[in-house]
Amino acid sequence: MEEKCLEAMIGIAEDMYEQMREGKIPELRIATRTKHNIEFNEDSEVWVYGDRKSVRSAKAVKGAYQLLRMAYVIDFLKEQLNQNRSSTLRELYYISENWEKGKFNEQQESDRLIEDLEILTVFQREHFHIRPEEDGATVIGPLRIREETRRGVKEIHCQDDVGEGGYQIPINVDRIDFVNHDAKFVIAIETGGMRDRLVENGFDEKFNAILVHLKGQPARSTRRLLKRLNTELNLPVVVFTDGDPWSYRIYASIAYGSIKSAHLSEYLATPPAKFIGIMPTDIIRYDLPSDKLTDKDIKALSSILTDPRFDSDFWKKEVNLQLELNKKSEQQALAKYGLDYVTDVYLPDKLSESGII
């Protein structure tokens, strides 16, 4: 796999060289990463990039620097693969400090260039031996896995063999084998506080549920794990988040695929995932404590109304209601009725209505 990945990267550099050798100004064409260039794939039921392309050309100074940095990165990744070493996204950014003309101004630039290489080569950053900083997302539940470690292969039960924090999801989830399980469904939870509440209340044991802590916007490894639990173990996946536009986007990245990584949607997205998080209708139904929407919230909700991933009667109704109410609410607002309410009432209600239990 690494050899093919290396060939694909070197092919990009060779193409730029050939353009210059022929007296042309080098350029690259790459899929435009906006919500206006994602389309629904009927076969895989996920959102992927469409046909719109952006041009990175050396005609402009900015474009020339982008192509130069890509050449630097390809050279660095080539050496890294040849030496069978790896680095983090953060390390790559700092490594560029030594590149006289190719230094990145901020990490967002180097992160985006790695995404460019993923799109152009059809390989993932893990194949480049590039990894994120430690994510910290965890799993607790009736699931036994087999994992390759530096000290060999070991089996771990995600209830019996882990602490209160749970089993930490590794960067490369495909190195995990599922041995067996007693689970009936998977619940992905946005916040650590709510994950802890469910664990303390014994939700995973009572409902035979696998709890996956998303830790905010979920990392690729977390989304890949949810995908595998759904497709390989045939377990329903539900997503439990706060009731605000940023949380709805968390759900969208899990179920529909994210806009910035739409090239990986078929690998990461879980289309059957159901949303059971706090909704505007829940603010009314459960009379939940709430906060006023900020200007950023309102702008984000308006953006969701034009996002093709949310183009359904359900989301349009809920988002428009939220704008009308001018309110948002958190998972923890359910504590208004006591610490057991979320596990004794709210989640059983939502899971029953969703046909999960």
Cα-Cα-Cα-Cα dihedral sign, residues 153, 154, 155, 158: negative
Query: Does residue 150 carry a pLDDT above 80?
Result: no
pTM given for the model: 0.83
Marked catalytic residue, from 94, 267, 337, 341: 94
One-letter amino acid of 2: E
User: Can you give the pLDDT at residue 48?
Assistant: 85
- The pLDDT of 101-115, averaged and rounded, is 91
- The pLDDT of 178-186, averaged and rounded, is 97
- The pLDDT of 311-331, averaged and rounded, is 96
286 Cβ contact partners less than 8 Å away, ≥ 6 residues apart: 334, 337, 346
Q: How confident is the model at residue 212 (pLDDT cuts 50, 70, 90)?
A: very high
User: Can you give the pLDDT at residue 263?
Assistant: 87
- Joined tokens for residue 100: 């006289």
For 172, counting Cβ atoms within 10 Å of its Cβ (0-12 exposed, 13-18 middle, 19+ buried), the class is: middle
Q: Calculate what percentage of the chain has a pLDDT beyond 70.
A: 99
User: Can you give the pLDDT at residue 216?
Assistant: 85
Distance, in Å, from the CA atom of 153 to the CA atom of 155, rounded to the nearest integer, reads: 7
Q: Is there a catalytic annotation at residue 248?
A: no
- The pLDDT of 129-138, averaged and rounded, is 78
Distance, in Å, from the CA atom of 184 to the CA atom of 355, rounded to the nearest integer, reads: 12
Query: Does residue 279 carry a pLDDT above 70?
Result: yes
Do residues 217 and 253 lie in contact, with contact meaning Cβ atoms separated by under 8 Å?
A: yes
Q: How confident is the model at residue 26 (pLDDT cuts 50, 70, 90)?
A: very high
- The pLDDT of 315-335, averaged and rounded, is 96
- The pLDDT of 246-255, averaged and rounded, is 96
User: Can you give the pLDDT at residue 181?
Assistant: 97
Distance, in Å, from the CA atom of 10 to the CA atom of 81, rounded to the nearest integer, reads: 12
Q: Token pair 């619940």 is at which residue?
A: 187
User: Can you give the pLDDT at residue 206?
Assistant: 97
The 10s digit of each residue's pLDDT in 223-233 is: 999 999 999 99
Q: Output the average pLDDT for the chain.
A: 92
Q: Reduce the secondary structure of the chain to three states and give it as a string.
A: CHHHHHHHHHHHHHHHHHHHHCCCCCEEEEECCCHHHEEEECCCCEEEECCCEEEEECCCHHHHHHHHHHHHHHHHHHHHHHCCCCEEHHHHHHHHHHCCCCCCCCHHHHHHHHHHHHHHHCCCHHHHCEECCCCCCEEECCEEEEEEECCEEEEEECCCCCCCCCEECCCCHHHEEEEEECCCEEEEECCHHHHHHHHHCCHHHHCCEEEEECCCCCCHHHHHHHHHHHHHHCCCEEEECCECHHHHHHHHHHHCCCCCCHHHHHHHCCCCCEECCCCHHHHHHCCCCCEECCHHHHHHHHHHCCCHHHCCHHHHHHHHHHHHHCEEECHHHHHHHCCCHHHHHHHHHHHHHCCCC
User: Can you give the pLDDT at residue 139?
Assistant: 96
| Domains of the chain as residue ranges with CATH | 2-131 (1.10.10.10), 138-353 (3.40.1360.10)
Instruction: Tell me how long the chain is.
Output: 357
For 143, counting Cβ atoms within 10 Å of its Cβ (0-12 exposed, 13-18 middle, 19+ buried), the class is: buried
User: Can you give the pLDDT at residue 135?
Assistant: 63
User: Can you give the pLDDT at residue 74?
Assistant: 95
Residue predicted with more confidence, 100 or 345: 345
The 10s digit of each residue's pLDDT in 262-271 is: 888 888 999 9
User: Can you give the pLDDT at residue 39?
Assistant: 86
Query: Does residue 149 carry a pLDDT above 80?
Result: no
